[in-house]
Structure 1
Amino acid sequence: MQTSLKLAGAALNQTPLDWENNLQNIKTAITQAQQQQVDILCLPELCITGYGCEDLFLSPWLPEMAFGKLLEVKEWCSGLTVCVGLPVRVFGQVFNTACVIRNREIIGFTAKQFLANDGVHYEPRWFSSWPANEILEFQMGGHTYQIGDIVYEEQDVKYAFEICEDAWRPDTDRPAVRHLEKGVQLIINPSASHFAMSKTDLRYKLVLNASKKFNCAYLYVNLLGNEAGRMIYDGEILIAQNGNLVLRNNLLSFKRVDMEAAAVDFINPLPPAEQMAGLGEIDESKELIAALSLALFDYLRKSRSRGFVLSLSGGADSSMCAVAVVEMIRRAICEIGLDEFTDRLGFFKPEEIAELKNLAEDAQVKALCGRLLICAYQASRNSSEDTFQSAEGLAKSLGATFYNWFIDDEVAGYTNKIEKSIGRKLTWETDDVTLQNIQARVRAPVIWMLANLTGSLLISTSNRSEAAVGYATMDGDTAGSISPLAGVDKAFLRQWLVWAQRELGYEGLQYVNNLQPTAELRPAEQAQTDEKDLMPYPILNQIERHAFYDRLSPQQVYEKMRGTEPDDLLKMHIRRFYTLWSRNQWKRERYAPAFHLDDYNLDPRSWLRFPILSGGFQEELDFLK
């Protein structure tokens, strides 16, 4: 037996049902591993099909197609062992499996035992759980294969699997406990573990603790990028032994394939770590923009769009969206270079690329911003010079294409039609919401025209705090193809903008960072602000988190927050929050797709389902009267 095995993980940027892309990435990873003389290569969970196929996993043809692709992959695996994820349909059920291929021979399939069924995950809808310690045989294409809770061997080293959720279970359940009893020296974990701010710290501790507790080496590999639209994967690769970190890669890469390898000694293993080093304090501002910029890049190219269009109001949300697009360009150019960046977007002409190559990198970013980001400031008589200056100043500093126009004629046209029909004038005293909403709505058709003309994605700028209370106009400021910030609260976004000005050098943010958030839909003399319309954002966010992350009742939320502000005011804010929340579920059902960036979100199509029609917490709020 040799003293060590060279272990490798490859984070892959896959797309559901994109067989050509997915198999090419798998082949690239295998080729790179062969070049580095790797013994065992692990690829992410369900990497042949993509993790996010959702209800297509229920279609019998999909596992059948995936198995055919597996047989193609098998032929590339000369001289090493490769672990590759795919759905397998046997015994009338579909299982989420890791297939082990050694030197072009399929050795077996390990089936996932614990299925993720919380937060953004609905795996039991598609897959069946595999029972512990059970191994069966099945036939496919005239060959017999083993499937189940298998222990494998590589050069006398015993290894077995935990597939993603398997590792997050308590020690009374998780497969690693049984693996220890069976003398397993290496645990391999192919995962599709979605990004959330600070989650990498939990994962890091999970892997290092497992390697120490189960006296083994542990190889963990995650998916990479915005795979299917909402979820982002950070591409984390970790190798640990007895509590010692052997390898950790850079996360949220723009690469198609990030293959990392390290030798691990199984004759003279690293001694158990006395104290496992942590990651230290995680900067969530850095994490957020890294995830957001990668997600925008993948969404842009996978949707086959040609850029972004943004109604730039001069406020916090639209300003952050603009900066995120520029950071997408800057980070991608820095990591993968201009040629790969333009090649993967697929719509730049050779002469455009040649012209860009004559520029320094900073100038390239600015020129690309002018090509990929179109902004428009749509003023009404209620708009201020401050927000116009904020929007124009930021757009110019970024290099974005910038337009501005007035919407008063369109507002007047719609208002006059209604006034003639109902036989009276609309006034702010009697028709406040109507007069606000029409201003937001008339902005949508013309900004959609820009998006259509240029084949671009229209960005909706809603944030999580607004979504919670429905502080947005349907078919107005919610219009868009993608809502990148809808999973992040307003207070964090405002902090982030200050951080971005200071740490990333976006001096164009100085204007918005000096403004109080406002919709600017009422006359200026009313001095409208978001927090005056709603409540202070920190209070709103606290109520929202207690209500839907901690899942507390209104009374429990009140008890939790007593003393944070005067009692009558707190009761009013809690009552207002729940009333607006219940009234506006229909809006959340219609928001544009949003990225999952925090440890929870309000998207009914991913994290939080709520009835459109309900009793509105009326009885639960009686105690506040």
Structure 2
Amino acid sequence: MGHLITLATSLNQWAMDFQGNMERIIESIVVAKARGAAVRVGPELEIPGYGCLDHFLEGDTVLHSWEVLASILSSEKTLNILCDIGMPVIHKNVIYNCRVIIHNRQILLIRPKMWLANDGNYRELRYFTPWMKPREWEDHYLPRIVQAVTGQVKVPFGDCVVSTVDTCIGVELCEELFTPASPHILMGLDGVEIFTNSSGSHHELRKLNRRVEVIKEATLKLGGVYLYANQQGCDGDRLYYDGCAMIALNGRIIAQGSQFSFTDVEVVSATIDIEDVRAHRARSSRSMQAAGAERYHRIEAPIALSSGKFDMIEELNRPAPPQNEVRYHTPEEEIALGPACWLWDYLRRSRTQGYFLPLSGGVDSCATAVIVYSMCRLAVDAARNGNKQVIADARRIVGEPEDSEYVPTDARELCGRIMHTCYMGTENSTTETRARAKELAEAIGSYHTDLNMDNIVTTLRTLFQVVTGKRPRFRVHGGSDAENLALQNIQARLRMVIAYFFAQLLPWVRGRTGGLLVLGSANVDESLRGYLTKYDCSSADVNPIGGISKTDLKRFLTWAQEKMQLPILSRFLTAVPTAELEPFTETYLQADEADMGMTYDELSEFGRLRKVDKCGPYSIFTKLVHEWGARLSPRQIAEKVKLFYFEYARNRHKMTTLTPSYHAEAYSPDDNRFDMRPFLYPSRFPWQFRKIDDVAALLPDRSTSMSVEPEQKTKT
């Protein structure tokens, strides 16, 4: 028989927003019931929000979670549907990450997470303890605020499954799906037919494919229905949780939600037939394993997930579960959508009036501006589709009164009201970069200002001369390396000061109140090598491209040139990347790759090997000898590896003050959350470099050309 018994949700929860989180949970339940569904599954830790971090150690967070659960249980809107809800629970003085299964004001089961995520961006072991008793359970005594609602004093707590009149449901939490011995395998062999998975999984470029394949595989060999719910949105940190709630049946994805969206509550549902699961499992080899499987304790729930009615005509007319083609975004689309959604959440929740971006005329700040323009396009699309929350947020952000009829209908108009760009030129700037910045601002509609800051730079040089008796000069004018670097850095740092000054006052200039958030635009490769000035305009409030490589940013701009009708972007793509901090002459123009001593593509390769492949200097050298050996000699490769590690090590301190960035790349050097490494190194790595040199001297030269190493410089 066809049963509408499966459902998953994506919610845009916000850490510590108990009121808003409760309202979104209840709304998702209401939508589920309106579709006739019997099961509702929400994302991980949805009551307090997944990203509470050290707030999970506070008793208040657990207390307020119980208060919210009591309100959900009390609501008439949540009756007559089985709900799987996430929150922290303290059991015998131990904090667990739990799912609470409820039905008709009763708690059927509290299921604690057994395998915790504790790498990359995740530190669950810092807050929670895994449940270490597979297939065991205990009594959990409920707080009085919940007892008053349910009439229960204690409920089962542990690794159990829920048995209804017509099927059996098992819980798997996020990371448990990705472990080698996933719980769904043993649960499925013991007769569980529906698996729920509540997740707090973040977006990373090119990552969705792995998640989808693991979900499909979970039921391909085993058989069953898999309900995957995920958080969607920025809940207050560097991550964007990319939704994409899914329902899988016997290895096929039959329903999929959006990956990027401005919608706060998204419900994904499907009609399935449990008999399809039973037919899929009718294989003798599977039956032999199932016959010897260990038993799970079943929580008996006297409820049916299906109506139990059988209508032959209705059955014959029932369409088979669809074989959905899984929707994947290209990396270029992911850059256009993910950071844009993250920026919208950050803007509306910080209750500021817009963004301010120092627009240099280069690829990085250009890509940042285009992402904000993409955000405006998404907001206009959402408003056009009647998204009341987006319309209300847009009115408040642009300064319209509450009774206003304003609805954003044009992306350039909206961008002009919330996006502010500024070209901060000096005598070292070129007319080309100034013109590119102005034309881009006109193309996207941003409120643009243009200034020269030479007088401020000159004043500081004069001040230094008055105090010390010496006036610093650029290298091309006969100055030393120290003078040259200091004069470059003071320009960069002054831009940061000017950016914050303008961000605070531009709304006032335009007759509005409040301030703007300053956007940074340092890409992941430059941060990795430390090719940025500490406390320059890379220091900002947030950075949407701080986890994206220069290579991917160029591909994104090529895509946006056509998809967003921005022909001006071609001029950014063909320009030589330059900081424009030194005087240019007929024979010299400062170029980033020459300054760094390596290309952006090489930097990306170093980043992946260092972080993703977990290689040290020697291991990177041995790998690159094979990969680059056709174009570079072993000695040249050795020099590049040593240069990278030397510059990375002596600039690592900059990562401690890195602007919070949208996490998009697996080799991000973000020191605060993702890349936990020292910031004071023996930067010449004497043991490692000596071993590299010794091996390089013994290896044959397979390269076809001998390249000359460029002069290397750095910003500090």
2:79 corresponding residue in structure 1: 78
Of residues 362, 365, 389 in structure 2, which corresponds to 1:318?
365
How much has 1:342 moved relative to structure 2? Answer: 3.7
How much has 1:154 moved relative to structure 2? Answer: 3.1
Say yes or no: does 1:415 pair with 2:475.
no
1:304 corresponding residue in structure 2: 351
How much has 1:252 moved relative to structure 2? Answer: 1.0
CA contact (8 A) 1:58 1:126 kept: yes
Q: SS of the residue aligned with 1:198?
A: coil
1:149 corresponding residue in structure 2: 159
- Max Rg structure: 2
Give the Cα separation in 2 of the matches to 1:269 and 1:182.
14
CA contact (8 A) 1:305 1:456 kept: yes
1:428 corresponding residue in structure 2: 474
How much has 1:449 moved relative to structure 2? Answer: 1.1
2:566 corresponding residue in structure 1: 506
Letter in 2 for 1:421: V
2:500 corresponding residue in structure 1: 448
**Deviation digits for residues 553-593 of structure 1, max 9, x if unmatched?**
21211121121642243222211111111111211110111
Larger deviation: 424-433 or 247-256? 424-433
Say yes or no: does 1:489 pair with 2:549.
yes
CA contact (8 A) 1:3 1:268 kept: no
How much has 1:351 moved relative to structure 2? Answer: 6.5
Say yes or no: does 1:393 pair with 2:439.
yes
**Deviation digits for residues 450-493 of structure 1, max 9, x if unmatched?**
21123111001111111111111122122210011111111221
Say yes or no: does 1:561 pair with 2:562.
no
Q: SS of the residue aligned with 1:162?
A: strand
CA contact (8 A) 1:10 1:43 kept: yes
CA contact (8 A) 1:64 1:89 kept: no
Larger deviation: 249-258 or 261-270? 261-270
How much has 1:3 moved relative to structure 2? Answer: 4.7
2:230 corresponding residue in structure 1: 222
2:39 corresponding residue in structure 1: 40
How much has 1:280 moved relative to structure 2? Answer: 7.9
2:216 corresponding residue in structure 1: 208
Give the Cα separation in 2 of the matches to 1:110 and 1:326.
44
Larger deviation: 204-213 or 347-356? 347-356
TM-score for the superposition, normalised by structure 2: 0.83
TM-score for the superposition, normalised by structure 1: 0.95
Matches within 5 A, 1:476-625: 476-525=536-585, 526-534=588-596, 535-562=598-625, 563=629, 565-567=631-633, 568-616=635-683, 617-625=685-693
The two structures, once aligned, show a CA RMSD in angstroms of 2.0
CA contact (8 A) 1:4 1:267 kept: no
Give the Cα separation in 1 of the matches to 2:545 and 2:397.
26
How much has 1:64 moved relative to structure 2? Answer: 1.8
How much has 1:425 moved relative to structure 2? Answer: 2.6
Give the Cα separation in 2 of the matches to 1:324 and 1:415.
37
Q: SS of the residue aligned with 1:467?
A: helix
How much has 1:253 moved relative to structure 2? Answer: 1.3
How much has 1:315 moved relative to structure 2? Answer: 0.4
Give the Cα separation in 1 of the matches to 2:418 and 2:213.
40
Matches within 5 A, 1:94-243: 94-130=95-131, 131-140=133-142, 141=144, 142=147, 143-170=153-180, 173-243=181-251
Change (3 A) 1:608 1:564: farther
How much has 1:271 moved relative to structure 2? Answer: 6.1
CA contact (8 A) 1:8 1:38 kept: yes
Matches within 5 A, 1:330-349: 330-337=377-384, 340-345=389-394, 346-349=396-399
Letter in 1 for 2:592: D
Give the Cα separation in 2 of the matches to 1:255 and 1:371.
22
**Deviation digits for residues 205-251 of structure 1, max 9, x if unmatched?**
11111112222111101001111221111111111111122211222
CA contact (8 A) 2:100 2:111 kept: yes
Give the Cα separation in 2 of the matches to 1:252 and 1:54.
24
Give the Cα separation in 2 of the matches to 1:481 and 1:240.
40
Give the Cα separation in 2 of the matches to 1:12 and 1:43.
7
Aligned residues: 617
Letter in 1 for 2:164: E
**Deviation digits for residues 154-185 of structure 1, max 9, x if unmatched?**
33210101100010001xx2211220232101
Larger deviation: 395-404 or 545-554? 545-554
Give the Cα separation in 1 of the matches to 2:230 and 2:195.
15
How much has 1:103 moved relative to structure 2? Answer: 2.0
Letter in 2 for 1:167: L
Letter in 2 for 1:104: R
CA contact (8 A) 1:315 1:517 kept: yes
Change (3 A) 1:482 1:177: same
Give the Cα separation in 2 of the matches to 1:281 and 1:166.
24
Give the Cα separation in 2 of the matches to 1:432 and 1:622.
32
Give the Cα separation in 1 of the matches to 2:403 and 2:413.
11
Give the Cα separation in 2 of the matches to 1:615 and 1:566.
27
Larger deviation: 561-570 or 32-41? 561-570
Give the Cα separation in 2 of the matches to 1:267 and 1:27.
31
Letter in 2 for 1:22: N
- Residue segments in structure 1 that go unaligned for 5+ positions in a row: none
CA contact (8 A) 1:10 1:259 kept: yes
Give the Cα separation in 2 of the matches to 1:230 and 1:206.
25
1:294 corresponding residue in structure 2: 341
Letter in 2 for 1:213: K
CA contact (8 A) 2:9 2:265 kept: yes
Give the Cα separation in 2 of the matches to 1:197 and 1:470.
22
**Deviation digits for residues 471-526 of structure 1, max 9, x if unmatched?**
11122122210011111111221222122113332223122112011100011123
